[in-house]
A and B are shown apart, each in its own frame.
Chain A
């Protein structure tokens, strides 16, 4: 019995099929697992291990290297505030402190209602709109404490449920066709075409 919901399981299998080796699908599959469960649950990790032909220890070992994967449950909204150099110069540290007060949780912790997890992030590459804030990896571009508070209020009311999905950066990243030609087919074509090119080049000289 698959831990992934049927639709997700199908997406996962399609993802694996895209790569020459199934283990290469590890990172996208972990994103999918997180999309369903909100974090990497034991069952989600097992499922990814099965799909990639690895073990759950191997999956956990890989996942723990990457900042975006949560090995413990997190809030519905993960709020990331950058304090790296460009944001530091724009008051990022003070902004993070403000966010902590507004959300009612310490940096790295989850609010009591389970709605928000606050993270201090490294550079999010949006430095012309510093200090940079992401909610579930969507840029929200609230650069003042006031606009941040408004955003938090809206998030509580569910105003952003459509544009900020709860978890899952790949929720709208779907390959919708052009399934890849088999490697044998491509190799055969390549051999034919390079032979043809060699012939043409010979004709030219």
Chain B
């Protein structure tokens, strides 16, 4: 059974129909964290976030406090919030921007104060039409409430937040591509080094880029203290985290659970969470952290939901998405579709990613749809090895950004775990699951 006694930190208002309104937000402790923040030194605010050891919730899991501490000193600097959630089967930020936009806005103001930044941008995925409306409304309300603009709550701190719409490009979730999108350009990831926008970011100025869920944790952390947050979870993985559960489960949805205290089995099978596999079938495999993550089999069900725990087993918690495949799901088709996604979304700058993704996709297509040969398995693995040499974990990178090195994960997993399925496809000349 899952351990569900931890407080819900970012989804506490989920049951209210009007959770997105200022009235409901103020009734439920809204903007108290900001009021407390404004009585503290900016360094003390940052110290609380450090004490919480909040890991970034975007996918890479980089400690938020450390990211902040790298911000180069400059008269102008920016805070950019990454709400361009596009990793397949990840829908937790979608939940946060639609259901609790004020919590996000308050978190952004707190972070901006800690960083002493005067201009913040919230980049929201363009396809989130309602999310954009709600976040803009929250920003408008915050201005009217005195929580934004000149001299916030009569303090000497001023901040402007601009809500920026994306326009449909997975790659803009990569922080330097996101900055390019914010500069009004094609979303090409920037060449590293510099590795961090904290050195050179928006308009060449120091910029911190943080994820929506990371920001949404801040009001609670400031109100309750970093130590209270760090007391939840185990080791490096502190606090709670939103998990987006999808695929062949009875109750797909977004669930907030304490880090490490729960396992994949808990979240997939507990009747209060996933509720088990659709039609009570057997689990075949699951993808633990977005489609960029290597897959796990049923033997990993008792693994704890923690960043290091999953990392040690050769995959990642990544974007907080869990996709379940059951015994009727075709692993070849799943891996083919994931590769097709990467092929469509590759920005085209780097040869291994641009050419490799399309080549693998075509080989996987014929394996799934008939016309595949046994040699195609070796071909696909060789192509994967060209993109991420050695096919180890974490993957070696041959490209400007990690989209490239994410391509091999699914096909490599599928071939390693389900070679027999591939052979059956080749021998039958079609998909045996059709």
Most chain A CB inside 10 Å of its own CB: which residue of B91, B125, B186 = B91
Q: A6-42 CB contact bits vs B (8 Å, 1 = yes)?
A: 0000000000001111011111101100000000000
Q: Would A66 and B344 count as touching, CB distance under 8 A?
A: no
Q: Would A68 and B127 count as touching, CB distance under 8 A?
A: yes
Q: Would A20 and B334 count as touching, CB distance under 8 A?
A: no
Chain B: CB-nearest residue to A82: B88
Report Cα–Cα, A110/B89, bound state, in Å.
Answer: 28
Shortest CB distance A40–B (Å):
11
Shortest CB distance B114–A (Å):
13
* Residues on the B chain within 8 Å of A54, using CB: 184
Q: Would B164 and A28 count as touching, CB distance under 8 A?
A: yes
Q: Would B165 and A170 count as touching, CB distance under 8 A?
A: yes
Indicate if B33 sits at the interface (CB-CB under 8 A): no
Chain A: CB-nearest residue to B150: A181
Given contacts A67-B169, A190-B118, contact A26 B85 (CB under 8 A): no
Report Cα–Cα, A124/B170, bound state, in Å.
Answer: 11
* Residues on the A chain within 8 Å of B41, using CB: 197, 201
Q: Would A27 and B323 count as touching, CB distance under 8 A?
A: no
Q: A145-186 CB contact bits vs B (8 Å, 1 = yes)?
A: 000000000000000000000000110111111101101011
Q: Would A180 and B323 count as touching, CB distance under 8 A?
A: no
Size category, A interface = 35 or more
Segment of B2-10, B131-139, B389-397, B415-423 in the binding face: B131-139
Indicate if B297 sits at the interface (CB-CB under 8 A): no
Chain B: CB-nearest residue to A136: B129
Given contacts A83-B337, A126-B91, contact A27 B166 (CB under 8 A): yes
Contact of B323 among A86, A187, A192 (CB under 8 A): A86
Indicate if B156 sits at the interface (CB-CB under 8 A): yes
* Residues on the B chain within 8 Å of A1, using CB: none
Q: B278-317 CB contact bits vs A (8 Å, 1 = yes)?
A: 0000000001000100000000000000000000000000
Q: Would B116 and A122 count as touching, CB distance under 8 A?
A: no
Indicate if B24 sits at the interface (CB-CB under 8 A): no
Contact of A31 among B91, B126, B170 (CB under 8 A): B126
Q: Would B329 and A89 count as touching, CB distance under 8 A?
A: yes
Contact of B88 among A28, A122, A181 (CB under 8 A): A122
Report Cα–Cα, A25/B163, bound state, in Å.
Answer: 11
Given contacts A172-B133, A187-B118, contact A122 B253 (CB under 8 A): no
* Residues on the A chain within 8 Å of B185, using CB: 23, 26, 62
* Residues on the B chain within 8 Å of A134, using CB: 127
Report Cα–Cα, A192/B118, bound state, in Å.
Answer: 14
Report Cα–Cα, A69/B125, bound state, in Å.
Answer: 14
* Residues on the A chain within 8 Å of B144, using CB: 177-178
Chain B: CB-nearest residue to A123: B88
Report Cα–Cα, A89/B228, bound state, in Å.
Answer: 39
Indicate if B183 sits at the interface (CB-CB under 8 A): yes
* Residues on the B chain within 8 Å of A62, using CB: 184-186
Indicate if A194 sits at the interface (CB-CB under 8 A): yes
Segment of B54-62, B64-72, B240-248, B371-379 in the binding face: B240-248
Q: Would A21 and B203 count as touching, CB distance under 8 A?
A: yes
Q: Would A66 and B86 count as touching, CB distance under 8 A?
A: no
Report Cα–Cα, A52/B183, bound state, in Å.
Answer: 11
Q: Would B127 and A124 count as touching, CB distance under 8 A?
A: yes
* Residues on the B chain within 8 Å of A20, using CB: 119, 203
Given contacts A86-B323, A89-B247, A178-B143, contact A27 B164 (CB under 8 A): yes
Chain A: CB-nearest residue to B93: A125
* Residues on the B chain within 8 Å of A137, using CB: 126-127, 129
Q: B314-338 CB contact bits vs A (8 Å, 1 = yes)?
A: 0000000101010001000110011
Q: Would B158 and A189 count as touching, CB distance under 8 A?
A: yes
Q: Would A181 and B149 count as touching, CB distance under 8 A?
A: yes
Contact of A173 among B165, B186, B246 (CB under 8 A): B165
Indicate if A127 sits at the interface (CB-CB under 8 A): yes
Given contacts A24-B164, A69-B167, A85-B337, 6 further A-B contacts (CB under 8 A): A86-B88, A123-B341, A128-B254, A175-B140, A175-B163, A196-B156
Please give the residue numbers on chain A whose beta carbons come within 8 Å of chain B beta carbons, in ascending order. 18-21, 23-28, 30-31, 52, 54, 61-62, 65-69, 83-86, 88-89, 122-128, 130, 134, 136-139, 169-170, 172-178, 180-181, 183, 185-187, 189-190, 192-194, 196-197, 201
8 contacting pairs across A/B (C-beta < 8 A): A20-B119, A21-B203, A26-B184, A62-B185, A89-B246, A122-B86, A123-B86, A177-B144
